[in-house]
Structure 1
Amino acid sequence: MKNFSSIKRKTLSSIAVTASLALAASVAAIGTAHSAATVKVVITGTASCAKDATPTVVTITPKKGKTGSDETPGDEQSEQYTITLTGIPNNGTTATAKVTCLDDEGDVNTPKKKDVPIKKPANNSPLTLNIP
Structure 2
Amino acid sequence: MEQYQKERIRIMLIILTALFAWSAQLCFSAYRDARNGRLERNYQIGIKTRWTIASDETWEYIHRKYVFVFLGSGVLVSLMPVDVVVGMIAARDINTMSMIWWWMLLALAAILVTWLIICGIIANLDARKHYLESQA
Same fold (TM over 0.5): no
Q: What TM-score bracket applies, with the shorter chain setting the length?
A: under 0.3
Larger Rg: 1
Give the alignment's TM-score, normalised by structure 1: 0.28
Give the alignment's TM-score, normalised by structure 2: 0.27
Q: Which has the higher contact order (CA 8 A, sep 6+)?
A: 2
